[in-house]
Structure 1
């Protein structure tokens, strides 16, 4: 699933970069001046540690969502028997939606870190465009900047924000909110 998500995001990035490359091509310099470089997006994300940071964050999210589901399960003892299954299904749907939102948000943060590093590298090296390897049929080795961007991102610490907490509504806490958490 994570691999499919990486491929999906890489495909989206590829389409945007191809469109940008087509626009940049109108302003091309004489032949021989390499203005385009390539990266293996998946390799950069894995080897730089960004995917590991994403996985660690998502593990914490998943643990909190599981705790939330357990809280909900415990609260069913107070429900009439005929309403337990409907409440359980509603809670499962909320947890599944929150999981999907958190996965997408984490991937966006990771891709933003890659884009920021790529933009900085591109500006420093005076490169017109950096394309994903998947957009090319063949690439000369000197046009591959995967190793450079991987090295640049190895020290990057990504901020995914707070891990969501599931709080049940109670008579004392009707909105289901926590104090300062």
Structure 2
């Protein structure tokens, strides 16, 4: 392992976009959206026969809950992707003996030869993100509690 005080930079967003992680994240979010949409459809059937005011309140509460779940799932998926990028960056740092790898968005100016985005992308070529299980959506009939 080389020892140095060399600080380099990489575009984490470009590394994600050029790696399999972007596709994996999009697939995950597509699957989550499908689950949430199916849950919303199931919930819609529970509103039938309810007084309109109560049905409207239930719709609003369900929409807020599903939207909150969607935001949480997006943030969670991005956190998993960034963890994979950080692992690859740590391996590159150790392999090359860099002192630090900084996100290019945080660099005001830098020498082009200090940009290691390509090496980071190469380190992500076999990345496989583990997003865990899909969320479960089980609508509850507000009439029954």
Structure 1 Cα separation of the partners of residues 64 and 104 of structure 2: 38
Answering whether residue 132 of structure 2 is matched by residue 154 of structure 1, we say: no
Where 2:122 maps in the other structure, the secondary structure is: helix
Partner of residue 94 from structure 2, selected from 123, 138, 148 = 123
Give CA-to-partner distance per residue, 1:79-113, whole Å, 9 cap, x none: 23331100000000000000010011011101111
TM-superposition CA deviations, 1:108-147 (whole Å, max 9, x none): 1011111111111101111110011122233223211100
Specify which of 54, 79, 82 is matched with residue 108 of structure 1: 79
Deviation at 1:152, TM superposition (A): 1.0
List alignment gaps of at least 5 residues for structure 1.
1-28, 176-181
Residues 130-171 of structure 1, C-alpha deviation per residue, up to 9 Å, x if partnerless?
Answer: 01112223322321110011011021010111111211236x
- RCO comparison, higher one (Cα < 8 Å, 6+): 2
Q: TM-score, normalised by structure 2?
A: 0.89
Q: What is the SS of the residue equivalent to 2:48? A: helix
Give the number of equivalent residue pairs. Answer: 141
Pair 1:74-2:45 in alignment: yes
Q: CA RMSD in A?
A: 1.9
